[in-house]
């Protein structure tokens, strides 16, 4: 069954329409103070399901290469999101949105549901709120991963409608951001290039090593459909750079290697580094080059 999943199968697995179906209901833009030569805007995108995605848009003086959606990590740091990726707060090694903009790449950085401006604030625990939200979505026939994918598709639709953005589109992320990038690439072929750092494994490896991952990993039917490797096989005509740490406690190498072996020919370049769950300088440089050195 896993070899027959296909891109349409991924969409059915997530319970979503074609990605072009997800378009903003409204968009608000506000110019912010630049950072050096990098222009900044605040973008608020109203979604099909009556939600709002706050974003930062970083635009270099002469944008080159693809326009990239840069998605933040999890780390159970629910007060952080887009501002960490933009280099305004949190861990500076996670400022890959700013690094891309400094390399001349236009970058859109959203908050995922549950983080920074989109914290649920249902209880004193962001983790409890995330789990409850995921369970409610599963009970309704959907999943938290589907919410992430439809939000990214909404942003992708908005980007395709902007007259100043004429080149290709890509996506990048670390950890949860890499997970969201992976599923978005499988769901939406409009994203032609992607970077995933410490962000993929298999449900089988999570179960084997008793890893309680973020709730979005647990998509109903994913294991029966062939697990994450079956999703990797659906990527076609896209170029992915995947970096992973050999001692990552969250993504054991048996699962990572299983996913890597499942990408089709000429889809994925990989870089395995000695370390744990991190985004070291050498991996960051390779990741940024994957976009900055690519034609628009």
Phi and psi, residue 78, nearest 5°: -70, -15
Quote the distance between the C-alpha of residue 75 and its chain's center.
14
| pLDDT at 1 exceeding the cut of 80 | no
**pLDDT for residue 296:** 67
CA separation (Å) from 164 to 38, 67, 87, 168?
Answer: 16, 11, 25, 12
What is the average per-residue pLDDT within 73-97? 97
Q: Which of 123, 133, 119, 184 is nearest to 155 (CA)?
A: 184
| pLDDT at 293 exceeding the cut of 90 | no
Share of residues in the chain with pLDDT > 70 (%)? 98
**pLDDT for residue 86:** 98
| pLDDT at 2 exceeding the cut of 60 | no
Residues 130-151 pLDDT 10s: 999 999 999 999 999 999 999 9
Residues 99-119 pLDDT 10s: 999 999 999 999 999 999 999
**pLDDT for residue 147:** 98
Q: Which tokens in the block code for residue 239?
A: 């170029």
Q: What is the pTM of this model?
A: 0.96
What is the average per-residue pLDDT within 24-42? 97
Domains by residue range for the chain, with CATH: 2-292 (3.40.50.1820)
């Amino acid at each position: 069954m896993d070899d027959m999943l296909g891109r349409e199968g991924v969409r059915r697995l997530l319970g979503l329409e074609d990605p072009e179906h997800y378009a903003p209901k409204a968009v608000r833009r506000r110019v912010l103070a630049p950072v050096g030569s990098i222009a900044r805007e605040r973008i608020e995108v109203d979604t099909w399901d009556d939600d709002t995605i706050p974003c930062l848009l970083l635009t270099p003086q002469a944008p080159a290469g693809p326009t990239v959606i840069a998605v933040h990590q999890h780390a159970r740091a629910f007060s952080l999101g887009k501002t960490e990726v933009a280099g305004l707060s949190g861990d500076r090694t996670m400022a890959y949105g700013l690094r891309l903009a400094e390399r001349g790449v236009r970058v859109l950085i959203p908050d995922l549901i549950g983080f920074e401006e989109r914290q649920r604030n249902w209880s004193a625990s962001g983790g409890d709120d995330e789990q409850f939200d995921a369970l409610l979505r599963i009970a309704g026939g959907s999943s938290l991963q589907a919410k992430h994918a439809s939000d990214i598709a909404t942003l992708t639709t908005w980007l395709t409608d902007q007259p100043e953005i004429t080149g290709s589109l890509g996506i990048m992320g670390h950890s949860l951001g890499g997970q969201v990038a992976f599923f978005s690439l499988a769901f939406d072929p409009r994203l032609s290039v992607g970077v995933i750092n410490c962000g993929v494994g298999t449900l089988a490896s999570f179960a084997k090593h008793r890893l309680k991952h973020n709730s979005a990993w647990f998509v109903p039917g994913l294991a029966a459909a062939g697990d994450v490797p079956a999703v990797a096989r659906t990527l076609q005509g896209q170029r992915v750079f995947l970096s992973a740490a050999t001692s990552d406690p969250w993504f054991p190498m048996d699962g990572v290697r299983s996913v890597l072996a499942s990408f089709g020919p000429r889809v994925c370049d990989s870089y395995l580094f000695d370390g744990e769950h991190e985004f070291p300088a050498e991996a960051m440089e390779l990741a940024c080059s994957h976009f900055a050195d690519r034609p628009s």
